[in-house]
Amino acid sequence: MKAIDDLKRYIDLFYSSHYVPIYLYKGEDLICKSTFSDLIEPNHCIKKNLNIEKNPSIFYSNEMGMWGRVEMEDGYSAIFGSVFSTSINEEIFRCYCNSFGLNKEDSEKIKDGLYSLPKYSYYHFLNLLAFLFYEFNGELIDFTGDFEAKGRGMQEQIATNQSEKEIDYESQVHGTYELERVIVNYIRNGETDQLKALFEKINKTNKVQEGKLADTPIRQAKNIFIGATTIFGKEGAIEGGLNIEEAYSLIDMYIQECEKLSSLEQITALQYNMIIDFSRRVEENKIPPGVSKEVHQCIQYINGRVGEQISLDDVSEHVHRSRSYITARFKKEIGKTINEYIIDRKLSKAKSLLKNTDRSLSEIAYFLCFSTQTYFHTLFKKKYGITPNEYRKSHSK
């Protein structure tokens, strides 16, 4: 066995090279440690589960991660952990801090260090345990024997848990697929009023049962939200004619916004608004059924560039057709010229900016590439029958 000074140096080198906290004990007395924070030490639960009669031993907890213990001669032992197999999120962080009885101030002190811990798979962790056992005791562990038996035990527990969940869920109705298809079709067709009626009906009847996707209600709701936003954005809005870049930007924005929320009510409200928002945007960008691929490409190109100066030449070059051909084709299928459609899209965007921002009329006119504010004012009133300022006042929150 190494001398005590050598053990202390080894503890420091181990942490420096692996960035896994490690603690050296003599009996129950802590001799030294090398870790990211003095606030964290193996607690009673960890020590109790690291069975001293088995050498080496391992303990795994959803809240506290993986821990290992190696016994040496003369009553010395090394405990190392926590190690997690997945990235640490806010839910894991809160559970971890609660397990160690940390208050809010102390929790913030350890946050950066905990989030910086390397990820280890279960078998990677076992290899690290076998390495330490060899270093301290000079013995090679039969990894495929003893440790695989431990691995099978953990796998058997996982299988047992899964079987129990399948039994628990047997009587639950996972009616989400058909509902998702209905919502996707409504979004794709821009049928916003029908969506609202659908949600009113759902609220009056039984809740739709989702499969379990997380260990906490908040994480469960967020996971469902992320999946729904992706489906409704890609299969509903984009297929319904919403510009691809706009749709992806909205997907990212809604998911980021959801991650900031802390209550089920907030997540539910955001999900409703997300679905209605996608549907309204498709409704405003409505593409008549049966349009040709070329005209659809023209529409997508224009919808993605409402904040740019777009010319007929730009559109024709994008679809690799002559100006005369694409102009005639567009007019026949959409019922208006390309320039008229461009103006319509810019004015529709102006309505959104007037309603949802405090930008001045001059800023909006400049952003949408109208030659002057007066020209923007004239076109807006001609199309909607009221001035931009009147529209903003009538939709002020």
> Which CATH number covers residue 53?
3.30.450
Residue of 72, 86, 66 whose CA lies nearest to 128? 66
Lowest mean pLDDT among 10-19, 50-59, 270-279, 385-394: 50-59
The torsion defined by the Cα of 275, 277, 280 and 285, in degrees rounded to 10, comes to -110
| Whether 258 and 312 share a structural domain | no
The mean pLDDT value for 370-391 works out to: 93
DSSP 77: E
pLDDT tens per residue across span 256-315:
989 988 888 888 888 888 999 898 888 876 766 678 888 888 887 887 788 888 999 999
Residue that finishes a domain, picked among 231, 266, 284 = 284
Query: Within this chain, do residues 50 and 77 fall inside the same structural domain, yes or no?
Result: yes
Give the confidence band of 205 by pLDDT, cuts at 50, 70, 90.
low
Q: What is the pLDDT of residue 10?
A: 92
| pLDDT score for 156 | 43
**Is the per-residue pLDDT at 125 higher than 80?**
yes
Whether 219 shows a pLDDT value over 90: the answer reads no
User: Are residues 330 and 272 part of one domain?
Assistant: no
Q: Tell me the one-letter amino acid at 374.
A: T
Q: What is the spatial distance between Cα 33 and Cα 380, in angstroms, rounded to a whole number? A: 71
Residue 340 has pLDDT above 60, yes or no: yes
Tell me if 273 is assigned to some domain. yes
Say yes or no: 244 and 299 in one domain.
no
Q: What is the pLDDT of residue 90?
A: 80
Looking at 239, 260, 284, which one is the last position of a domain?
284
- Judged against a pLDDT cut of 50, whether residue 165 lies above it is answered with no
Give the residue-averaged pLDDT of 196-202: 79
Backbone angles phi, psi at 190, to 5 degrees: 65, 35
Same domain? 39 vs 104: yes
d(CA 328, CA 311): 16
Q: Work out the pLDDT band at 174, boundaries 50, 70, 90.
A: very low
Mean pLDDT confidence for 18-32? 92
CA–CA separation, 267 vs 260, rounded Å?
A: 10
When pLDDT is averaged across residues 127-143 and rounded to a whole number, the result is 84
Domain identity same for 212 and 299 = no
Averaged over 204-212, what is the pLDDT?
Answer: 52
Residue 151 lies in a domain: no
Residue 171 has pLDDT above 50, yes or no: no
Q: What is the mean pLDDT of the chain?
A: 82
Same domain, 298 and 267: no
Are 15 and 21 spatial neighbours (Cβ–Cβ below 8 Å)?
yes
Please give the pLDDT value at position 121: 72
Question: Global pTM?
Answer: 0.41
pLDDT value at residue 326 = 93
Residue 320 lies in a domain: yes
In the chain, the amino acid numbered 248 is: Y
* Cα-based angle 232, 282, 333 (whole degrees, multiple of 5): 130
| Domain identity same for 57 and 135 | yes
Residue at which a domain ends, from 237, 264, 284: 284
- 209 domain residue, yes or no: yes
Mind giving me the DSSP string for 212-225?
P-SSSHHHHHHHHH
pLDDT of amino acid 338: 94
181 & 280 share domain? yes
Please tell me the total count of domains within the chain.
3
In a domain, 171, yes or no: no
On whether residue 233 sits in a domain, the answer given is: yes
* Size of the chain, expressed as the number of residues it contains: 397
pLDDT, tens digit, 9 for 90 and up, residues 75-121: 899 999 888 877 787 878 888 888 888 888 888 889 888 888 888 87
CATH code at position 334: 1.10.10.60
Same-domain status, 103 and 12 = yes
Exposure string over 150-173, b if 16+ CB within 10 A, otherwise e: bbeeeeeeeeeeeeeeeeeeeeee
Is residue 35, in this structure, part of any structural domain at all? yes
Residues 42 and 128 in one domain: yes
Asked if 200 and 122 sit in the same domain, the reply is no
* Domain ranges, residue 383: 293-394
3-state secondary structure of 387: coil
Is 161 inside a domain boundary? no
pLDDT band at 373 (very low <50, low <70, confident <90, very high): very high
Q: Is a pLDDT exceeding 60 seen at residue 145? A: no
Q: Torsion-angle region of residue 307: left (phi > 0), alpha (psi -120 to 50) or beta?
A: alpha
